[in-house]
Structure 1
Amino acid sequence: MGKGKGELLKNFIPIVDFIAGIAGPFCEVVLHDVSNVESSIVAIKNNHISGRQVGGPLTDLGLKLLKEKAYKEKDYLLNYPAKTKDGKVLRSSTFFIKDDNGDIVGMLCVNIDLSGAYAAKRFLEDFIMGINGASKEQSTDTDNKELPEHLTISLEDLMHSLIEQTMAEIDVPPERMSPKEKMWVVHRLSEKGVFMLKGAVAEVAKCLKTSENTIYRYLNKKIDDV
């Protein structure tokens, strides 16, 4: 990354502390340098929420946004659901940091931990139900929804999470997948930006029980060619 872009990102480091200081300990604030997706976190506050550290990777959603160039049409994303590796439900927002040419330099992410709020909500619902002499199981609003973002601690966790999610969409063991199904998985992973990560081809080949050359061949073909 050029010096100008590096200086631009440095200007946002105090903002990480500023936002976290205002919002308090239930708000994690993260600054990503998108020039290095495998080790993108350059600053983080209240990292007890996700367990991530400086030097950690970009999220699955972050990769997808880069791949789709979503930052060209909007400046930020607000209030989308996310989840940590240990199951905390979050409300997240991302601000795209761009240079004078409109090219993305970094992402400033704010993740609000809703675990306590949901616990209070369940308590109040159960309390009110008890008063009314009724009872029913309660669940969070995100229990049955597909979340757009999962906060992983390491590059390996990120790759495994993306591969497992994608293979689950087909729900067929790799040894029983047809070549067309394997190619679909590869193209789907490419859409999610997985192959921007170092070692992704080898990991995908291992999970699909095929060779790295086959993965490269799938990437260079259209699904209809099989």
Structure 2
Amino acid sequence: MEKKKRDLLKTYIPLVDFIAGIVGPFCEVVLHDVSNVESSIVAIKNNHISGRQVGGPLTDLGLKLLKEKAYVEKDYLLNYPGKTKDGKVLRSSTFFIKDEDGDIAGMLCVNMDLSAAYAAKRFIEDFIMNINGEPQDQSTYKEDRKEVPENLTLSLEELMRSIIENTVAEVNVPPERMSPEEKMGVVHKLSEKGVFLLKGAIAEVARHLKTSENTIYRYLSRKNSDL
């Protein structure tokens, strides 16, 4: 009977390398022979996680499961917490290997090392916190963009119209209701923005402000006077 169980366990040895190869270096796979709990490990892969070796003993949970005969009603246990001697946090699962009579022969255990996952989680959380925790930097960036807007227009006419319309809109008063001082203020702002370096700007500004070209010239001549 014991020989049959040992032969059964041998068929699972390739699965140790197979599972570890699929999941990767953060996955330790262990095959236990429960007939010798003091030296139950018959195969292990990625043992850098726990530091255990072939010939090592069964775990405390493994002993408890054997004692309770948990394998009678269950075929496996999934995703229970574990911990290594040096403090690594694990997510573990165990498959009960049974013979044709339902008697347990061994356990195939998969231990996922979550250390890197938790480190990545902390990094992402800290990274997001740093972004959300610096509103002053975002505010400064927004203010810089507000002070130096850029409008990518397709023609000179669109460029001129865009600047004039945006500047007029800053007053929040329709041109026909603007006072002479308000219109003069618009002209001075447009001058600061270089609009009058563009050919035809005087006529275009006059049209938007619903006034004459001579008035625009007059406003420009008073550029340095108090409004």
Fold equivalence (TM over 0.5): yes
Give the Cα–Cα distance (whole angstroms) in 1 for the partners of residues 125 and 65 of structure 2.
37
Q: Which SS does the other structure have where 1:112 is aligned? A: strand
Q: Taking structure 1 as the reference length, what is the TM-score of the superposition?
A: 0.58
- 1:70 is aligned to 70
CA shift for structure 1 position 2: 1.6
Q: Give the length in aligned residue pairs.
A: 134
Q: Taking structure 2 as the reference length, what is the TM-score of the superposition?
A: 0.58
**Superposed counterparts of 1:129-140, under 5 Å:** 129-133=129-133
- Please give the per-residue CA displacement for 1:36-89, whole angstroms capped at 9, x wherever unaligned: 111000000000000000000001110110011000000000111101000111
Give the Cα–Cα distance (whole angstroms) in 2 for the partners of residues 6 and 96 of structure 1.
14
Give the Cα–Cα distance (whole angstroms) in 2 for the partners of residues 65 and 131 of structure 1.
48
Letter in 2 for 1:71: Y
Give the Cα–Cα distance (whole angstroms) in 1 for the partners of residues 57 and 2 of structure 2.
20
- 1:115 is aligned to 115
**Superposed counterparts of 1:78-93, under 5 Å:** 78-93=78-93
- 2:7 is aligned to 7
Larger CA Rg, structure 1 vs 2: 2
CA shift for structure 1 position 131: 1.9
- Please give the per-residue CA displacement for 1:117-146, whole angstroms capped at 9, x wherever unaligned: 000000111111222229xxxxxxxxxxxx
Give the Cα–Cα distance (whole angstroms) in 2 for the partners of residues 47 and 31 of structure 1.
12
Give the Cα–Cα distance (whole angstroms) in 2 for the partners of residues 33 and 132 of structure 1.
53
Give the Cα–Cα distance (whole angstroms) in 2 for the partners of residues 118 and 2 of structure 1.
42
- 2:57 is aligned to 57
Give the Cα–Cα distance (whole angstroms) in 2 for the partners of residues 97 and 89 of structure 1.
25
Q: Which SS does the other structure have where 1:32 is aligned? A: strand
**Superposed counterparts of 1:1-226, under 5 Å:** 2-133=2-133
Q: Which SS does the other structure have where 1:14 is aligned? A: helix
Q: Which runs of 4+ in 1 moved over 3 A?
A: none
Give the Cα–Cα distance (whole angstroms) in 1 for the partners of residues 29 and 67 of structure 2.
23
Q: Which SS does the other structure have where 1:111 is aligned? A: strand
Give the Cα–Cα distance (whole angstroms) in 1 for the partners of residues 133 and 23 of structure 2.
38
Give the Cα–Cα distance (whole angstroms) in 2 for the partners of residues 123 and 61 of structure 1.
33
Give the Cα–Cα distance (whole angstroms) in 2 for the partners of residues 130 and 3 of structure 1.
61
Give the Cα–Cα distance (whole angstroms) in 1 for the partners of residues 128 and 105 of structure 2.
49
Give the Cα–Cα distance (whole angstroms) in 1 for the partners of residues 61 and 128 of structure 2.
38
Gaps of 5+ in 2: 135-227
Give the Cα–Cα distance (whole angstroms) in 2 for the partners of residues 48 and 4 of structure 1.
31
Gaps of 5+ in 1: 135-226
Give the Cα–Cα distance (whole angstroms) in 1 for the partners of residues 79 and 129 of structure 2.
29
User: Which structure ranks higher in relative contact order (CA pairs < 8 Å, sequence separation ≥ 6)?
Assistant: 1
Structure having the larger proportion of residues in helix: 2
Calculate percent identity across the aligned residue pairs.
Answer: 87
